[in-house]
Structure 1
Amino acid sequence: MLREHTSTGSPRPDPTPDEAATRLLQVMNDGALSLLLALGHDTGLLRTLGDLPPSTSPQLADASGLDERYVREWLAGTVAGGIVCYDPAAGTYRLPAAAAAMLTGGGADNIARSTSMLGDLTAVLPRIRECFRTGGGTSYTDYPRFHAAMAAESAAVHDMALIPQILPMTNRAEELEAGIAVADIGCGRGHAVNLIAQRYPRSRVTGYDFQPEPLEAARAEAAQLGLDNVEFVCRDAAALDEPGRFDLVTAFDAIHDQARPAEVLTQIRRSLRAGGVFLMVDFQASSRLEENTGLPWGAYLYTVSLLHCMAVSLGQGGTGLGTGWGIQTATRMLGEAGFGQVAATTLEADPFNVYFRAQVRSG
């Protein structure tokens, strides 16, 4: 096993054979359990379990509209994995309240949704194996299910926190009410753009994404909401070329995917008027690997980067910055792009991310 480093920089001692065997068997077992949680999320079984009182396998299958034999095997695996509780005398299964809170909720802390997203990423494993040998990367079109899941996860956070908690970080509430020009970079399906435009009808909000398909969904949602103060533009953010147009720019988990992130940040800074604010959201991690060894989602972060974020950047001939670029590198790159003030903070409703507020120098 490779040596890992603690946050102090000291190498961990090599494990004993028993310790290595115990750890690796646990990894194998938990990896299998992760697939079961993904299936439970995708089929609705976890939500059904959370909603019902202790129930038998036939009752759960009937309530969820699923095949009983598959339900029973899934239940066996989740019981063996310590997630679902089983009463052998009654033949019933239940999901403990503490587990249900993290497996069925609509917030960012729904672990089952995250396991489902990881399962979706396995579709590109053959291509990633090839990239290990030949270099290169992947295309955004290789991930239809993953991007839909990412959009759903972001929407869950934004529905809960964008207006009451996230936007106030910009200190631009009064200006938004009065009417300012706002942009969202890497907007995807545009839910955040539409939420901002709906709440602040006097402001004009523009969403940018270089993939045309998600913008169709963004425009459809805007039309459904009857919004006339939004616009969605298909453009590479590295070629944004909107000097001095905006008062506020946002980017939600988008910069680390960019082929040319430094150029994107420079374009964002140029697009802001004097005193303008850039709110950038990205994964909460250190730029130093040794400081991420104790991060509860550290392995998940690097795996998502390997299978998606780094790979799509390299697939565009980019730098492959990756999900683990971290707070220190992000802060440095914002400064190099010309932002004079950079502050980072976290949000309880979004435990996996850090929020950077960067401001253009006035005058």
Structure 2
Amino acid sequence: MACEIDPVKAEGFAGSLVEMINQGAMSIMISIGHQTGLFDVMAGMEPSTSKEIADQSGLHERYVREWLNAMVVGKIVFVDDSSTYYHLPMEHAMFLSRKFPGDNIALFAQYIPVIAGVEQKVIHCFKNGGGIPYSEYVRFHEVMAEDSGQTIIGALFDHILTLIPGITQRLEKGISVLDVGCGSGRALIQLGERFPNSVFLGIDLCKEPIEKARKSTEEKGLQNVFFHQADLTSFRPDVEFDLITAFDAIHDQARPDLVLKTIYDCLKDNGVFLMQDIDASEKVYNNLDHPFGRLLYSISTMHCTSVSLAQGGMGLGTMWGTERANRMMRQAGFNNVTENRLPHDPMNCYFVVSKNCTNTQASLIELEEIDD
């Protein structure tokens, strides 16, 4: 029996597809505006010609003009009736310019060209299985570092560390800290500068960010921050730590279960594990209204699932879910998991996990008594 087609629904869906394709194209244009600094130049600038904007940006006018026209039809930039003077309203600039740290959404647009760069390789995986290693993703570590700089670095001391009662005082006294999946080490370096009595170790699977982290440490002359390239699926540090952190790193691991077990084993009795990871459900139906759902499932398909499978891993993907995260932490041995959401970061959940203690506050009190 032939299916009847509702022409109104069909036309509406076709229109939505056209809009999706248009918005996808605009994502690349937004990424270019962010990377070239055009949004930063135009933020607060009076209506100007394409040449004036290009001169101010140090860029070629012809490309700037075409980019501006894309911004105009995308209703991001306004232009006068003569199509001569372009203007970025402040209501738009505050979400596009680096002049407004913490509110800049434009940096997330960079993920689109990054994952698009491996499209053909991912299609090959669709047909043949397997995955794509981190090394194939051009600029991924750079974009992740900028992403972390906005969501983690800017909020680290005033919002994130305060989730663990008493931890700032203990860091000032001096404790040992491990950062899992440290990337280029921006968070760890900030901590090392702020708390010279504590010792910090960052571990990451990839060589490129570790080398960058070491260089930054040397340039700053830090003697209490160290970096090591290793896969925590099989590598276990020969020391234990008072505090272990993992910022947006666990779901990418080949075997998150084994990494969480290593974290548990490396944590001192009554130590604390702080994990930032994606705030979503393992059940896709519960993510229908997720504000970043389409982006995150796309990144999961094109990157997170693939890099895990490339290592022969579980391929849990970006949207592994807070439910699964809780189960896996408990299976690793943790018995006290607390979830926290922060206003500045609608994409992530912050898990505070204590070891061998029914209460994180009590854990820290006991540690302070031991130190005294």
Same fold (TM over 0.5): yes
Local SS of the residue matching 2:43: helix
- Equivalent residue for 1:43? 36
Once the two structures are TM-superposed, the CA of residue 19 in structure 1 deviates from its matched residue by 1.4
- Equivalent residue for 1:70? 63
1:335 aligns to 2:330 (yes or no): yes
Deviation readout 1:211-231 (Å, 9 max, x if unpaired): 222111111111222211111
Local SS of the residue matching 2:200: strand
Q: For residues 157-306 of structure 1, what are the structure 2 equivalents within 5 Å?
A: 157-171=151-165, 172-242=167-237, 245-306=240-301
- Cα distance in 1 for partners of 2:65, 2:83 equals 15
- Cα distance in 2 for partners of 1:265, 1:242 equals 13
| 1:243–1:270 contact (8 Å) kept in structure 2 | no
| 1:108–1:153 contact (8 Å) kept in structure 2 | no
| 2:141–2:209 contact (8 Å) kept in structure 1 | no
| 1:244–1:273 contact (8 Å) kept in structure 2 | no
| 2:102–2:154 contact (8 Å) kept in structure 1 | no
Deviation readout 1:241-292 (Å, 9 max, x if unpaired): 2366101000001001000100000110110111110000011211110111
Pick from 79, 96, 99: which aligns with 2:92? 99
- Equivalent residue for 2:106? 112
Runs of 4+ in 1 over 6 A off after TM superposition: none
- Equivalent residue for 1:149? 143
- Cα distance in 2 for partners of 1:211, 1:182 equals 20
Local SS of the residue matching 2:312: coil
Once the two structures are TM-superposed, the CA of residue 239 in structure 1 deviates from its matched residue by 2.4
| 1:136–1:315 contact (8 Å) kept in structure 2 | yes
| 1:109–1:350 contact (8 Å) kept in structure 2 | no
Residue identity matched to 1:326: G
- Equivalent residue for 1:55? 48
- Cα distance in 2 for partners of 1:80, 1:152 equals 28
Structure 1 stretch displaced more, 321-330 or 149-158: 149-158
1:87 aligns to 2:80 (yes or no): yes
| 2:78–2:87 contact (8 Å) kept in structure 1 | yes
- Cα distance in 2 for partners of 1:245, 1:50 equals 48
Once the two structures are TM-superposed, the CA of residue 181 in structure 1 deviates from its matched residue by 0.7
Change (3 A) 1:277 1:44: same
Higher relative contact order (CA 8 A, sep 6+): 1
- Equivalent residue for 2:367? none
Local SS of the residue matching 2:341: strand
Deviation readout 1:120-151 (Å, 9 max, x if unpaired): 22111110010000000001111131211111
Once the two structures are TM-superposed, the CA of residue 303 in structure 1 deviates from its matched residue by 0.6
- Cα distance in 2 for partners of 1:238, 1:283 equals 20
Once the two structures are TM-superposed, the CA of residue 293 in structure 1 deviates from its matched residue by 1.0
| 1:209–1:236 contact (8 Å) kept in structure 2 | yes
- Cα distance in 2 for partners of 1:70, 1:335 equals 54
| 2:181–2:203 contact (8 Å) kept in structure 1 | yes
Deviation readout 1:184-238 (Å, 9 max, x if unpaired): 0011111111111111111111001122221111111112222111111111112
- Cα distance in 1 for partners of 2:92, 2:44 equals 12
- Cα distance in 1 for partners of 2:164, 2:216 equals 25
Local SS of the residue matching 2:152: helix
Once the two structures are TM-superposed, the CA of residue 109 in structure 1 deviates from its matched residue by 4.0
Residue identity matched to 2:122: I
1:135 aligns to 2:129 (yes or no): yes
Instruction: Determine what percentage of the aligned residue pairs are the same residue.
Output: 42
Once the two structures are TM-superposed, the CA of residue 240 in structure 1 deviates from its matched residue by 3.6
- Equivalent residue for 1:6? none
- Cα distance in 1 for partners of 2:296, 2:325 equals 16
Structure 2: tracts of 5 or more residues without a match: 1-5, 358-362, 364-372
- Cα distance in 1 for partners of 2:188, 2:111 equals 23
Residue identity matched to 1:55: S
Residue identity matched to 1:136: G
- Cα distance in 1 for partners of 2:247, 2:324 equals 17
Change (3 A) 1:74 1:273: same
Once the two structures are TM-superposed, the CA of residue 107 in structure 1 deviates from its matched residue by 3.7
Structure 1 stretch displaced more, 99-108 or 117-126: 99-108
Structure 1: tracts of 5 or more residues without a match: 1-12
Change (3 A) 1:107 1:135: farther
